[in-house]
Chain A
Amino acid sequence: ETGVTQTPRHLVMGMTNKKSLKCEQHLGHNAMYWYKQSAKKPLELMFVYSLEERVENNSVPSRFSPECPNSSHLFLHLHTLQPEDSALYLCASSQVLQGDPNYGYTFGSGTRLTVV
């Protein structure tokens, strides 16, 4: 399989549950991203892993915890979420080496999360 794959596509969880979102890319990219897309709001960057460095948006609550075990896999661990965390969570990857002619971002289909 090629491209960026996210699982699950849909997730319903209670506020006391613990779950994880998974993202996998088969493009040989060296950077991976988590975005949150809420209704009527712009795309919000949550975390970036690039060349083993992590960059995070300081406004992201600690109930979201990313993990990037290698350059092809990215996880978002969720615990004690709130209803306002319900959103579409998108994963993306890119190649950040200078001079790459195919520079761009490839997105997965997203996980639609509902917190009840």
Chain B
Amino acid sequence: AQKVTQAQTEISVVEKEDVTLDCVYETRDTTYYLFWYKQPPSGELVFLIRRNSFDEQNEISGRYSWNFQKSTSSFNFTITASQVVDSAVYFCALSEAPGGSYIPTFGRGTSLIVHP
């Protein structure tokens, strides 16, 4: 069975601090996808990144970066120089590759609060 653990329920930082959101997953599949979503107060889950299990390259997009390590089954998300607009709930998710089970498993989410 698939499982996604986001151990940090809530993180509070001051603007301009760097912050890392942890995500640990469990799956028996060799082919799978990992996702990060952002949910601002408006409610919509906004797609941030997708990574497949064969691509362990780290990715950087502006102030966002992701560290995927299959050896530790982790897919951590770092925000550099955080801003107040980064305040949201962030979800990590896992899904088998298309053609298999199409039901994603979400973590419980990490609430990030960035203070000015």
Which residues of A does B touch, CB under 8 Å?
Answer: 31, 33, 42-43, 45, 48, 50, 55, 88, 90, 92, 94-100, 103-110, 112
Contact = CB atoms under 8 A, between A and B. Distances in A.
Q: Which of B106, B107, B108 has the most CB of A within 10 A?
A: B106
A108 B104 CA distance: 16
B32 to A, nearest CB: 11
Interface of B: 33, 35, 37, 42-47, 50, 91, 93, 95, 97-99, 102-104, 106-109
Nearest to B102: A96
A45 B103 contact: yes
Q: Which of A33, A94, A96, A100 has the most CB of B within 10 A?
A: A96
Contacts of A106: 47
A21 to B, nearest CB: 13
A46 B98 CA distance: 20
A106 B35 CA distance: 12
Given A95-B98, A100-B98, A104-B35, A110 B43 contact: yes
Contacts of A55: 103
B50 A107 contact: no
B102 A94 contact: yes
